[in-house]
Amino acid sequence: MSRIARMFGLGSACGALLLLLSCGRALPKKGLPPGDQTGVAGSAGGAGTGGMGGNAGVDGGAPAGSGGTGSGGQPPGGSNSINLDGSPIYTRIQRLTNGQWERAVTDVLRLASPANFPRDFSTPASGGGTDFANNEKLLFVDLQAQLDFEAGSEKAAAVATGSADALARLYAGTDAPGFVRTVGRRAFRRPLTTDEQAKYQDVFALGERLYGAGFANGAALVIRALLQSPKFLYRSELGAAGAPLDGYELASKLSFLLLGTTPSDELLDAAAAGALDAVDGLERAARAMLEQPAAVEIMRDFHGQLYRLALYDDINRTDVPASIESELAETSHRFFDAVFTSGEGLRAILTSALDSSRIGYFMQVPFLLLNGREDGPDSIRRGAALADEVLCLDLVGHTVPLPPLPPLAAGQTNRDRVEKLTASCAGCHGDLINPLGFAFEGFDGLGQPRDLDNGVPVDTTGTFSFEGGTRRFADARELMRILADGTQAHTCYAKMLTGYALQRDVVEKDRPLLGDLATVSRERSLKDMVISLVRNPAFRLRAEGTP
């Protein structure tokens, strides 16, 4: 059992839950002759190792015995290609997310505990059709955000100046110029200009005039003004198109990406000294950040959004007690935490072994239960989740909802009824969603293993046309190995990481970057992917924007 598997199964109170629901016989392989069952997974890494560096076979490599069908066309209503149809705007002024705001305020003001103010903030309206909520198109200052930031800055200023201890943590001196210079540099993530220094000293004086003489009164108003300034609220990239970002811009970009907060004083010093200008210097800084606990939180957010772990908060099924929803979410989060901290990546997400019957995240109880129904597996949701989250397919949504699944007829399996229900929607369901979902027919709606469905042996076999070609699989385990050894899942993962890190849509122009990152993903770790991304011009240089 790998470290990750131990973490997933036993590392928390959730372990008992997982084991309780997942105990059972190993999943039988049904529906394929023995030759097919062994041949399909011929390129996979060793079963149950969860390790890296396995055979780097590509999708559609058609290993002996795989029985490829060669269909692979463009079905109506969906595509088997990675969706790169976004429309980035390459903003030069990226508003901080609420989470970044909270951490940055905590660090700028040296607050003893996280500010927690954004708990009351409105979340950005996600109306732009983006993969992640931190996308550049979603983050601007509308009226609600203005009111939130204003109230938040006022609360933060009150806390930071509310006691002698808090003030001493914030700034050791008692002079207004020094206070403005020190806190201003942290807030703007660069030294203040002469004009800015003078302006904020005036604000300090105004604070004392309005609220009475006293360092805290001046400091409080300066803090409110700094935290509402666009120079704090937006991370900027103002250099020429194609030119390297300057040291301070890089420090901010790196720190917000990997730690979700403003650069430390030390990182700003390094930027001032030019230590981030060379790629190797940038990599050193990034590697150090990746080992900090805050980086785990960032990657937790990344995986949480990528795999929609928030859905565990609202399963809303009569056979699933609400009390376990948070455990399902936390267990899943811990799994992804472990993938990151133990130096693994997508391969472990897909194939890390928990026991003899399950590998990877998608064969575990949380995913299977979330995408299950009270009367059995939800093959459509399971398949659609994989198509979307693992293969980045662009599935055309329904303009009208599917009719509900009818009850099973005597001798009818869930697979039979789903095929019947979706027969007229072959483009998406028949070719893309159903094959992926049916691979999990060996698990019921709670994620428990099963051999029979309505008295009939389950059929977990399928074929799928990846970007590189068609592969056949006997069950979910083989499907996971095909994904781990192929290209498309790693390219999708690279796309998602890039989109999250650069906070923009990823498009066809990014293909070379995705190719590089996918190679790293297949052969190395998530941390190495991050380093590779940070070293890439897409991160370091000012991207071409919209004129």
Within 8 A by CB and 6+ apart from 488, the residues are: 59, 82, 391, 392, 466, 467, 468
Q: What letter does residue 433 receive in the DSSP assignment?
A: I
What minimum distance in Å lies between the beta carbon of 283 and other proteins? 27
Is residue 30 within 8 Å of 460, Cβ to Cβ? yes
Query: Considering beta carbons, is residue 92 or 110 the nearer one to other proteins?
Result: 92
Query: Considering beta carbons, is residue 236 or 470 the nearer one to other proteins?
Result: 236
Query: Considering beta carbons, is residue 41 or 324 the nearer one to other proteins?
Result: 324
Exposure string over 167-197, b if 16+ CB within 10 A, otherwise e: beebbeeeebeebbbbbbbbbbbbebeeebe
What minimum distance in Å lies between the beta carbon of 352 and other proteins? 24
Query: Considering beta carbons, is residue 325 or 344 the nearer one to other proteins?
Result: 325
> Cα 89 from chain centroid?
21
What minimum distance in Å lies between the beta carbon of 148 and other proteins? 10
What minimum distance in Å lies between the beta carbon of 342 and other proteins? 27
What minimum distance in Å lies between the beta carbon of 403 and other proteins? 14
Greatest C-alpha distance within the chain: 86
Query: Considering beta carbons, is residue 471 or 495 the nearer one to other proteins?
Result: 495
What minimum distance in Å lies between the beta carbon of 417 and other proteins? 17
DSSP string computed for 97-119: PHHHHHHHHHHHTT-SS---GGG
Query: Considering beta carbons, is residue 140 or 375 the nearer one to other proteins?
Result: 140
Closest of 97, 215, 105 to residue 153, by C-alpha: 105
Is residue 55 within 8 Å of 196, Cβ to Cβ? no
Q: What letter does residue 457 receive in the DSSP assignment?
A: E
What minimum distance in Å lies between the beta carbon of 121 and other proteins? 7
What minimum distance in Å lies between the beta carbon of 79 and other proteins? 12
What minimum distance in Å lies between the beta carbon of 68 and other proteins? 27
Within 8 A by CB and 6+ apart from 440, the residues are: 362, 363, 368, 377, 379, 382, 460, 476
Query: Considering beta carbons, is residue 30 or 231 the nearer one to other proteins?
Result: 231
Closest of 395, 393, 421, 397 to residue 407, by C-alpha: 421
Give the Å distances, CA to CA, from 351 to 209, 333, 344, 539: 65, 17, 11, 30
Within 8 A by CB and 6+ apart from 420, the residues are: none
| Placement of tokens 């399902």 in the chain | 328
HEC string for 477-540: HHHHHHHHHCCHHHHHHHHHHHHHHHCCCCEHHHHHHHHHHHHHHHHCCHHHHHHHHHHCHHHH
Query: Considering beta carbons, is residue 205 or 294 the nearer one to other proteins?
Result: 205
Query: Considering beta carbons, is residue 112 or 402 the nearer one to other proteins?
Result: 402
CA 312, CA 17: separation in Å to the nearest integer? 15
What minimum distance in Å lies between the beta carbon of 245 and other proteins? 13
CA 382, CA 363: separation in Å to the nearest integer? 10
Query: Considering beta carbons, is residue 148 or 337 the nearer one to other proteins?
Result: 148
